[in-house]
Each structure stands twice: as structure tokens, then as C-alpha cells.
Amino acid sequence: MNFDSLLWVLLLGSLLGLELIGKVPPTLHTPLMSGANAISGITMLAALTAIIKAEPNSPLLIIGSISLGFALFNVVGGFFVTDRMLAMFSRKSTKKNK
Amino acid sequence: MNLPDIIKFVIDLLAVLLLALGIKGLSKVRSAREANILAAFAMLLSVVGLLSYYLGTSGISAQSWAWIIIGSLVGSFFGTLLSKKVPMTSMPETVALFNGFGGMSSLLVAIGAFLFPFNVVAKAGSLEPFINDVSISVSIFVGAITFSGSIVAMAKLQGWLSTPGWTQVKARHFVNIVFGVTSLVAFIYLISGNISSIWLLVIASTLLGIGVTLPIGGADMPVVISLLNSYSGIAAAAAGFVVDSQLLIVAGAMVGAAGLILTQVMCKGMNRSLISVLFGGSLSAQTITSSGSGEYTNITSCSVEECALTLEAANRVIVVPGYGLAVAQAQHTLREVTKKLEQNGIEVVYAIHPVAGRMPGHMNVLLAEADVPYEQLKEMDVVNPEFPATDVVLVLGANDVVNPQAKNDKSSPLYGMPVLDVQEARTVFVIKRGMSAGYSGIKNDLFDLPNTSMVFGDAKKVLSELIGELKDLGVGDK
């Protein structure tokens, strides 16, 4: 994809991000931060690409693998920890609905 | 477009859509948990899309598979382990650590892409190699700041690092400018093809991250974490330019922008501007000299027993939990006290200041963990008109958020900060270790008021004693 279309993607993605969380109740600040943080681990795609495209026996394989490890630590841990927090809220709201 | 391209395109579109819905859903209480799972699913989908694309085109070598599996297993294992073990009170530093690792990932992949170029850069003479270098440099710069800043933030929240006195000296700005300018120079060298300056860029931006974060006081740290979270999104977007992935760019940009908004919202709740958080240094250090607005003159202290007696006679009680409660991990003990009161027909409500706890929203998480019904948690604007009709207010480890100075004293540094009007209630009990000041280092006028009584002691200890006293009074024995 050429550069100017990628810039459009960047611009529209940023605008989308600004729009998405207009009104967040303070209750959710911590979980939202934690969830967004997990999503920022999307760099795992870059790490994967680096590993796949690396030449045989290139040090890039190791660098990519370490990078992938860091990213997945962020992603997997981030989603689990967010879920742990939110589980406490939803337990209450299901009780309320009954 | 051939088949693998089309499939990947469709999967990427779907993943972006689900991620957007996920972020959207995370900002509503009702849908938050499902939204989080949705976002996790979208991430998984994006990995499947990427792997299947390369399987269908160039193939993935056995060696690559091996490194992919090693990296994934190790990262996921430790991430899962930490996320299951960490106590809820340590949430702020946990988010900081995760965030730092995300930044590290972007940093490493950018270094790798620079030293061992894997993207076939098209057409000499076109703009593309230049764009590639710029994206890599941005990714290194932002990634390194995110990493070092987050680790410092975590260490400070964890109590491993204090705020050293010398960091409050104005000269720190000069040091940080030096780091900043060095980064910029290295950045320019790097994009003009001078490969060896990559290490200078890594080191200078790492130091910049440390230099900017170190002087910031504990109370402001959540804002910094939120900002660094936004940075890690930007780092991811920059990495997206490096590997030519629209999905990475969109996702990174969304997180970057959403993080900025969240940072802004948090600043508002604390009555601080982002600029003063970042460059003002620690609030307590600033105000320690200016806030000598006198000693306490009219402190009434009382025993746990008196407190229990007053509580027993009340019809309506509002609990104001704060940072001290979170630190003492007393939320479960508090819940036992309020259960007893409720059994006696006393109405109990929790007043949650937007920045109560160690991070905005953190108190809600802690109280939810202790089984406090969600409906009893009331936000500041809802609860403030209810104080005059309240018999007893229990202030537990909160300080600045109940300081009437913020409303009455125009010369106070706190002036203008939204606070809970606890002094309107008939009786206020402040459970506190001693007379030390809050984060701001400012005297709390509430403690001097005639309807305020201090109960000195550790929150958890006082609450357990309170349970005993209430038992003796026969409260909640039904």
C-alpha cells in the first residue's frame, strides 16, 4: 500500500479513537486503560512479520521472538487482568437483573 | 488481488471493526466485559489472518515457526501468570508494567527492522525508503520512552523508587532538554542513513523517558501511565508503517487517540493540567512552602467506641473511601462493617470521588472485589446534594478530595478541584493514621470543623475494632 493511503488510515484511525470514548464513567477508567493497553500490544503483528520474513539463521529471528514475547505478555496479561476487573462489575449487574 | 490477499483484507477489516466495537463497549458498564473479550478475539483473529496470509503466499519456514512458538509461549505464560496473581490493589503498577513491555516490543521490532531490513523497499529514488526510515526512528523513539517511562512509573508506584529531591530542581528541565535534543539529532542522523546513530537514539530516548517520569509525584502517576499508554499506541502505529500493515496503523492510532482522551478526562478529575503534571514536578514539593496556612487548632479525636455508638444511632451513612483504604487493603473489612449497619436498617452509600484510590476508577474495582453492590457506589455529582440529609460520614484514608478549601479558599492550591461536601453532614468521622497531610501536602480544613472527629489508627485495624464494638452493641445480630 502506498504511503499516502497509509497516512489516511492513520488520520481516520485517530479520529475514530477520539470519537469512540466520548463519555466514560469514572468507574471504567481503570479497566478501559488496561483494555486499551492490551490492544496496544498489537505490535505483535509487526514482530510476527519480522520473524516470518527473516533470512534463515538471521539474528532478526531472535530479536523478533523476544519482541513477540514482550508483546504477548502485554496482550494476554492485559486482557486477562481487564477481565478480572470487569468480572467483579458484571457479577453485580447480573444480580441486579434477576 | 489474488485469494490470500482478499482473505487477509477481509480478516483485517473484520478485526478493525471488532477492535473499534471493543473499545466502544469498554466505555459502558453494561457491555464492558463482553467488549474486552471481543477485543481479545479481534486480536486473535488478526494473528490468524497474518499467519494464514503468509502460509498461502511465501510460506513460513520451520525455523520461523520455532521462534514464533517460543516467543508466544514464554510471553503468554508470564503474562497470564502475572495477571492471575497480582492483587487488585496493585492494578496501577501492573498496567504500567504491561504498557512498558508493549513499548519494548515496538522498540525491538524497529531495531530489528533497521539492522536487518526485511521489507523489500521498492524503487530507488522514490520516497519509500525514506518513509521506512522515519517510521522506524519514530517507533524506536516512542517505544524507548514508553518502556523506560512505564518502568519508572511502575517502580515508583510499587514503592521501589521514591522521588529524589534533586529531581525537583529546575535544572532537570535542562537535563531533559539535552536528552531531547540528543534524541532529535540522532533521529535526523538515522533517517539520513547513518546506521550507527541508532544506539544513540535508543539511549537518549530511554534516558528522556526516565528523566521526564522520575520527578512526577505518586498522585499524578495514573495520568502519566494513561499518557504512556497513548504513546504505546503511537509506537504501534509507527511499527505499522514499518511492516506496511493498515491494521496495525488503525489499531495503534485508535489506542493512541483514546489514550489521549482518557488522560484528559483524568486530568480534569484531579484539577490538574497535563502540562503541570508533566513539567510541574511533584505537587507536594511545590506547595510545601506555599501552604503553611496555619496549624490545626480545633482537632477533636474520639475512640472507636464513640464512633460505633454514633453509627448505631444513624439512619443514613455515607462512606468516603480513599487511597489509604486501598493501601491498607481494608475494603473487605469495610464491607463487613457496612453489612452490619445494613442489617440494622441503616442506609449505607459509598461516595466515590473521580480520582479515589490509586487510579481513577480503581476504588470501584476494589469495592466490587469486596462484594459491595454496584448500586451503592455513587459518583460525586450524585452524592454531593445528599450530604445534608446524612447522619454520619466515614472518611477512610481520603484527604484532599474532602478538603473544603477547594471550595472556600481562593488562595489554596486546591481551589477549584471538585470535592465531596462531607462537612454538610451531621457528624464526620475521619479515620486516619495521624495528622499528616494528603498528597497535596495541604492542611485539611475539614479536620478543624466542630462536627468532625478524628479516629486515629490504621484503617484496617480501626475497622476491625469497629466490628467488635458494633457486635457488643448488638448491631446486625439478626
Question: Could A72 and B28 be called an inter-chain contact, meaning their C-beta atoms sit closer than 8 Å?
Answer: no
Alpha carbon separation from A75 to A40, A81, B100, B254, B364 (Å, rounded):
8, 10, 12, 16, 24
Residue B172 has a pLDDT of 74
Which residue has cell 527492522? B113
- Please state whether B204 falls in left (phi above 0), alpha (psi between -120 and 50) or beta: alpha
Question: Could B249 and A63 be called an inter-chain contact, meaning their C-beta atoms sit closer than 8 Å?
Answer: no
Instruction: Give the distance, in angstroms, between the CA of residue A17 and the centroid of all CA atoms in the same chain.
Output: 13
What is the distance in angstroms between the Cα of A70 and the nearest Cα belonging to chain B? 5
Cα B473–Cα B341–Cα B307 angle in degrees, nearest 5: 60
ipTM: 0.89
Question: Could A51 and B119 be called an inter-chain contact, meaning their C-beta atoms sit closer than 8 Å?
Answer: no
CA distance A87 to B87: 14
In this prediction the pTM is 0.81
CA distance A20 to A28: 14
Of A9, A65, A68, the CB nearest to B249: A9
Question: Could B79 and A39 be called an inter-chain contact, meaning their C-beta atoms sit closer than 8 Å?
Answer: no
**3-class secondary structure, B348:** strand
Other C-beta atoms closer than 10 Å to the C-beta of B185 total 14
Catalytic residue among B12, B133, B220, B400: B400
Pairs of residues, one from chain A and one from chain B, whose beta carbons lie less than 8 Å apart: 396
Q: What are phi and psi of B20, to 5 degrees?
A: -65, -45
What is the distance in angstroms between the Cα of B451 and the nearest Cα belonging to chain A? 30
CA distance B114 to B315: 68
From the list B242, B430, B471, the residue with the least C-alpha distance to B320 is B430
- Please state whether B125 falls in left (phi above 0), alpha (psi between -120 and 50) or beta: left
Other C-beta atoms closer than 10 Å to the C-beta of B56 total 14
- DSSP annotation of A55 reads P
CA distance B427 to B435: 19
* CB-CB contact of B252 with A14 (8 Å): no
Residue count (chain A): 98
CA distance B235 to B145: 10
Could you report how far apart the first and last alpha carbons of chain A are, in Å? 52
In the Cβ-directed half-sphere of A98, how many Cα atoms lie within 13 Å?
A: 6
Amino acid in the structure at residue B346: I
Residue B290 has a pLDDT of 41
Provide the Cα torsion B352, B355, B359, B360; round to 10°: 70
Question: With 0-12 CB in 10 A as exposed, 13-18 as middle and 19+ as buried, what is B451?
Answer: middle
Q: Which run of H or of E encompasses B347?
A: strand B347-352
Residue B148 has a pLDDT of 95
For residue B346 the three cell numbers come to: 441503616
Is A95 at the interface with chain B, CB within 8 A?
yes
Other C-beta atoms closer than 10 Å to the C-beta of A95 total 11
Other C-beta atoms closer than 10 Å to the C-beta of B132 total 22
In the Cβ-directed half-sphere of B145, how many Cα atoms lie within 13 Å?
A: 27
The sign of the torsion formed by the CA atoms of B353, B359, B363, B364 equals positive
CA distance B394 to B314: 12
Residue B282 has a pLDDT of 55
In the Cβ-directed half-sphere of B32, how many Cα atoms lie within 13 Å?
A: 30
**Digit-coded pLDDT (tens) for B207-254:** 999 988 888 876 678 888 889 999 999 999 999 988 888 899 999 999
* Residue A43 scores a pLDDT above 50: yes
Is A21 at the interface with chain B, CB within 8 A?
yes
CA distance B140 to B128: 18
Q: What DSSP line would sit under B120-167, residue for residue?
A: ----TTSSHHHHHHHHHHHHHHHHHHHHHHHHHHHHHHHTSS---GGG
Walk along chain B (478 residues) and give the pLDDT tens digit of each residue. Answer: 688 888 888 999 999 999 989 988 888 878 888 999 999 999 999 999 999 999 888 888 888 999 999 999 999 999 999 999 988 878 888 999 999 999 999 999 999 988 888 766 555 556 677 888 888 899 999 999 999 999 999 988 877 777 666 666 677 788 888 889 999 998 888 888 778 888 999 999 999 999 888 888 766 788 888 899 999 999 999 999 888 888 999 999 999 998 888 888 878 776 677 777 777 655 544 444 444 445 677 788 888 888 888 888 888 999 998 877 877 778 888 888 888 888 888 889 999 887 776 677 778 888 888 888 878 888 888 888 888 888 899 898 888 788 888 777 777 767 777 788 888 888 898 888 777 666 566 778 888 888 888 888 888 888 888 888 888 887 766 5
Is A87 at the interface with chain B, CB within 8 A?
yes
CA distance B42 to B45: 5
Question: With 0-12 CB in 10 A as exposed, 13-18 as middle and 19+ as buried, what is B213?
Answer: buried
Residue B463 has a pLDDT of 87
What is the distance in angstroms between the Cα of B12 and the nearest Cα belonging to chain A? 12
Is A39 at the interface with chain B, CB within 8 A?
yes
Could you report how far apart the first and last alpha carbons of chain B are, in Å? 73
Q: Where are the alpha helices (DSSP H) in B214-293?
A: 221-242, 246-270, 274-279, 283-287
* CB-CB contact of B251 with A13 (8 Å): yes
Other C-beta atoms closer than 10 Å to the C-beta of A4 total 9
